[in-house]
Structure 1
Amino acid sequence: MTQPIRWLQDEIADRMLQKLDIVKIDVKDILIVPDFAGKHLDVLAKRYPNARTFSITETGVSGFHMWRAKAMSNWRSLFTGKTHPLASYASSGRFDIPDNSVDLVFSDLLLQDLADPKLFLQECWRVLREGGLIAFSYLGPDTGKELRSLELSELRLKNLLSPWDMHDMGDALLAERFSDPVMDMEYLTLDYEKPELLLADVSALKLMQLAPSEIPNMNVLPQKLTLEVVYGHAWVIGKHLAKAKDNVAYIDLNQIGRKTRSDSA
């Protein structure tokens, strides 16, 4: 995401937090990925006032901008949390935080930009504690369907890196040992008065390869853009158990309680 689409990140983050209103969880540490200087910081700080925040900051957001936003929302996070750039995660595939270190991973509109979201889920599983929660949103495969229906080669459209629908993601969560996944989806329709505004958003959403200024004929463009927004959350339960293979769960013998003579008395 880039600055022209910041309002969308704020709106989707707000909807994510509304969906978490019914979730009961004791949060001491939060990982926000990607973190941006948006309104979600203030809401998270109010909901979890004593939580420490780990930030994987969005590309293009200055350190000072993030510092100022966090100072305005929760000054405590300036001294107890850690900040790392999203580019570092993109290159290494790992969050620079220890295993079992957070209770909540909050990810707003990132997964559609990842080549393999399964690796992201695996890394979230690594850093989440037993009983922790992953909450996320991303753009689904129907995003920008009006543009694809035009079949204009000069637009040089490109697919999302991971065009997963909510069923694909639900299956992936279960495959990566997350429990009780809850998936939801909605369509948002954006209306535009000028094609230049539409192209600015299409570019910010990374749906085409050309810069907006390179489009030869903008009069054929639609006046609306559909976004498929997928939401989900899932729990980390039974983290000490070995990962199942071929639909069979392998459990270490040391994890099985032994019945003693006194137990049967």
Structure 2
Amino acid sequence: MSDLLPPTIDPVAAARWHAAAPALSPWLHEEVARRMEERLEWIVQAPKNWCHWEPVRGGLQAHRLLATRYPQAGVQVHEDAPRRAAVAREQLGQRWWQPARWMGGAVQFGAPQPASVDMLWANMALHTAADPQQLIGQWHRALAVDGYVMFSCLGPDTLRELHAVYADLGWPPAGHAFTDMHDWGDMLVQAGFSEPVMDMEHITLTFASPKRLLQELRELGCNLHPARFAGLRGRGWQQKLEDALQQRLASPAHGGQLALTFEIVYGHAYKPTPKLRVSESSAVSLEDMRAMLRGGRNPGLR
């Protein structure tokens, strides 16, 4: 485990959510993936092999966009939650009669081998990780030299309206705190990545009713804060929450619908040629030694 874990994420709750999250791609995740896929226009060199990290939650429609963009590339699909792994195989696996089974673009399932892919795509997964530095390290190990990671996650301004409602009612936090994009950049460098490029945007979602808003939030995630409400709450609490949401979140600018802000953080970074530290006794992995002998070349941007 990392020495610097997110202070507002309960690891037990995070593991439970990871195992039990619905086997579907929320609309917001698909939309973020579509916007992230457009950013691949700036990448000059197409990957020979790429990994889709947790595609069921990250975006099954987005997977098809990526497969269309890179039709000859090998694809590794990583889903370690059993229910979502089954869905991924059903939705993304080729049948024996499909030509793609014998051509480029065939899908393999399971964890990527070290240094086996040129692009790792991870959409909307990092903000629920109890040990994000360890997860970023997994991505780094999976990438070949000059390979790159493309990821997105929620940023600190997400659900600021909902947090304000909870605070005004004297309730525990509505959710855990999300990491700033500059801190993600620092973690990428710490994991061994180079040239991190981080940016963000705000997306406002509107909802016709409090019930619809809460349903959408349950599909997107859950409250992982250690100080969250303990145990179940009754119908009276639910009604009080819905009344507060209707009163506080109705936006005249959106025709009276309930409005919530989502900050979306995008990240992109390369895996450089490893550098061997000179000391009295040094150790280097076989993969890193091969990479140093080859002398990696950064594919660069347009």
Paired residue for 2:70? Answer: 48
Q: From 122, 133, 136, give the equivalent of 1:118.
A: 133
Q: Contact 2:79/2:88 (CA < 8 Å) preserved in 1?
A: no
Paired residue for 2:4? Answer: none
Q: Contact 1:71/1:78 (CA < 8 Å) preserved in 2?
A: no
Q: Contact 2:203/2:263 (CA < 8 Å) preserved in 1?
A: yes
Q: From 227, 238, 253, give the equivalent of 2:273.
A: 238
When normalised by structure 1's length, the TM-score is 0.77
- Supply the distance in 1 between the matched residues of 2:278 and 2:209 (Cα, whole angstroms): 53
1:99 and 2:107 correspond:
no
Report matched runs for 1:240-259 at 5 Å.
Answer: 241-242=275-276
- Supply the distance in 1 between the matched residues of 2:172 and 2:214 (Cα, whole angstroms): 10
Q: Contact 1:130/1:237 (CA < 8 Å) preserved in 2?
A: yes
SS of the residue corresponding to residue 203 of structure 2 reads strand
Residues 80-127 of structure 1, C-alpha deviations (whole Å, 9 max, x = no match)? 43323xxxxxxxxxxx33211111000000000101211111111111
1:67 and 2:84 correspond:
no
1:6 and 2:26 correspond:
yes
Q: CA deviation at 1:188?
A: 0.5
For 1:45, the aligned partner's letter is A
- Structure 2 residue runs of 5 or longer lacking an equivalent are 1-20, 250-257, 294-302
SS of the residue corresponding to residue 227 of structure 1 reads strand
- Supply the distance in 2 between the matched residues of 1:180 and 1:113 (Cα, whole angstroms): 24
Paired residue for 1:20? Answer: 40
Q: Contact 1:196/1:212 (CA < 8 Å) preserved in 2?
A: no
Tell me whether 74-83 or 129-138 shows the greater mean CA deviation. Answer: 74-83
Q: CA deviation at 1:70?
A: 4.5
- Supply the distance in 1 between the matched residues of 2:112 and 2:138 (Cα, whole angstroms): 10
- Structure 1 residue runs of 5 or longer lacking an equivalent are 85-95, 257-265
SS of the residue corresponding to residue 168 of structure 1 reads helix
- Name the CA shift for 1:170/1:74 in 2 (closer, same or farther; >3 Å): farther
- Supply the distance in 2 between the matched residues of 1:31 and 1:242 (Cα, whole angstroms): 27
Identical-residue share of aligned pairs (%): 27
For 2:84, the aligned partner's letter is V
SS of the residue corresponding to residue 219 of structure 1 reads helix
Q: Contact 1:173/1:181 (CA < 8 Å) preserved in 2?
A: yes
- Name the CA shift for 1:175/1:156 in 2 (closer, same or farther; >3 Å): closer
SS of the residue corresponding to residue 60 of structure 2 reads coil
- Name the CA shift for 1:61/1:170 in 2 (closer, same or farther; >3 Å): same
Q: Contact 2:50/2:118 (CA < 8 Å) preserved in 1?
A: yes
- Supply the distance in 1 between the matched residues of 2:234 and 2:47 (Cα, whole angstroms): 46
SS of the residue corresponding to residue 184 of structure 1 reads strand
1:108 and 2:123 correspond:
yes
Q: Contact 1:178/1:237 (CA < 8 Å) preserved in 2?
A: yes
SS of the residue corresponding to residue 39 of structure 1 reads helix
Q: CA deviation at 1:2?
A: 3.4
Residues 163-187 of structure 1, C-alpha deviations (whole Å, 9 max, x = no match)? 2111101111122221111111001
SS of the residue corresponding to residue 216 of structure 1 reads helix
Report matched runs for 1:191-230 at 5 Å.
Answer: 191-208=206-223, 215-217=238-240, 218-221=242-245, 222=249, 223-230=258-265
Paired residue for 1:174? Answer: 189
Higher relative contact order (CA 8 A, sep 6+): 2
Please tell me the root mean square deviation across aligned C-alpha atoms, in Å.
3.3
SS of the residue corresponding to residue 72 of structure 2 reads coil
Q: How many pairs were matched up? A: 237
- Name the CA shift for 1:243/1:166 in 2 (closer, same or farther; >3 Å): farther
SS of the residue corresponding to residue 104 of structure 1 reads strand
- Supply the distance in 1 between the matched residues of 2:212 and 2:23 (Cα, whole angstroms): 13
Paired residue for 1:262? Answer: none
Q: Contact 1:199/1:212 (CA < 8 Å) preserved in 2?
A: no
Residues 136-190 of structure 1, C-alpha deviations (whole Å, 9 max, x = no match)? 0000121111011112355762214xx2111101111122221111111001111
For 2:175, the aligned partner's letter is K
- Supply the distance in 1 between the matched residues of 2:80 and 2:260 (Cα, whole angstroms): 24
- Name the CA shift for 1:197/1:33 in 2 (closer, same or farther; >3 Å): same
Q: Contact 1:102/1:129 (CA < 8 Å) preserved in 2?
A: yes
SS of the residue corresponding to residue 61 of structure 1 reads helix
- Name the CA shift for 1:212/1:191 in 2 (closer, same or farther; >3 Å): farther
- Supply the distance in 1 between the matched residues of 2:93 and 2:276 (Cα, whole angstroms): 38
- Supply the distance in 2 between the matched residues of 1:173 and 1:120 (Cα, whole angstroms): 10
